[in-house]
Amino acid sequence: MNDYDIDPRTRTRTRSEDALLGELAELLPPPAVPEFAPERQRELRRTLMAAARPARPAVWWTRKAVRFAVPAVVCGIAAGAVLVVAPPEPEPRDPRPSVRAEGASAVLSRAALAAASAPAPDARPEEFVYVESLVSRAGRPAGGGAAVVEPAHRRQVWLSADGSRAGLVREAGSADQELSPRLPVYELEHPGAEPRRTVLEPAEPSVTAPTHAFVAGLPTDPEALLRLVREQTRTGGGDADQRAFTAIGTLLAETWAPPEVTAALFEAAARIPGVVVVPSARDAAGREGVAVARTSGGERTQWVFDRSTSAFLGERTVLVAASETGPAGTVLSETAVLTKAAVARAGQLPG
């Protein structure tokens, strides 16, 4: 029997045969490498670029005209600040949830009834209204990209009750900012003259620049109040209904109105078209409740209410559709109102 009579599947090769096979393999061209489909290549490229992209400092948005926001607070992030990518929350992509319009009116009516029976503010003209809350704001990196969000932190505001004294804003991680009713300016009588320091008298109080006395004197008729809000929010970005909804939300979050005015604010909001119910939402403190919301420009602004007492807890703004800012469900801002009280001076905590 010779080698050719042996079954090639069980035959063991000799060393000389192995060497010969190695030499023949070197003479053959390398085997072809399979290529990914174009869609798969683009997906891998995006994944690799996202993993390799260096972190950039973010520039915080000034998303809406908040009465107490100051440039030093929103201009940027201090060196060494830790940024956390906002985890997307499950949010319906459809900006119009399948809820009847009467649902929002019912929630706001209950909130109005609860507000009407709440204790009245006891701030005297010479005192300050103190509002403490938790806040978190999102921002876009200076070089572009998805939104990042700062951790929720404490924000304290002292507002002069009659508007005649300088107030104060204090936020964790930022220097205190004075809310002066008079702004220092310099005037020139003629070219080459020495600048003369003077002050700019404050503008009349308004819905977007309120004092406690102004808020206390707002109309208690919802129709009249909504007309006033619309009149004083004629300028600015977004549609007119959204500007009115945003202005009312700011008054609810950072002023202390009498019970009848707060109730009228809720009833006025119920008359704004496009306001719907969000069955479950959380404020910046993690308190869960039912919310009313309005969507504009791909963003949904929500007011969160305690499910059992109908008390106003806070507000939040969420993306309803994916964009360059981030995926649907990204939380752009949120607040949680913790305390409202009257104190004798700016910087004093309620006792």
- Per-residue pLDDT tens digits of the chain, which is 351 residues long: 544 444 444 455 555 555 555 555 555 555 444 444 544 444 444 443 333 333 333 334 434 333 443 333 333 333 333 333 334 444 444 443 434 445 999 999 999 999 999 999 989 999 999 999 999 998 877 777 777 888 999 999 999 998 889 999 999 888 999 887 655 566 667 677 777 776 566 678 899 989 899 999 999 999 999 999 999 999 877 799 999 999 999 999 999 999 999 999 999 999 999 999 999 999 999 999 999 999 999 999 999 999 999 999 999 999 998 888 888 988 999 999 999 999 999 999 998
Looking at residue 78, what is its pLDDT? 34
**Interacting residues of 19 by C-beta distance below 8 A, sequence separation 6+:** none
Instruction: Answer yes or no: pTM beyond 0.75.
Output: no
Looking at residue 33, what is its pLDDT? 42
CB 163 within 8 A of CB 80: no
Query: From CA 351, how far away is CA 115, in angstroms rounded?
Result: 23
Looking at residue 200, what is its pLDDT? 61
Query: From CA 236, how far away is CA 289, in angstroms rounded?
Result: 30
Looking at residue 139, what is its pLDDT? 82
Looking at residue 231, what is its pLDDT? 96
Q: Which of 174, 173, 180, 182 is nearest to 159 (CA)?
A: 180
Looking at residue 258, what is its pLDDT? 96
Looking at residue 3, what is its pLDDT? 47
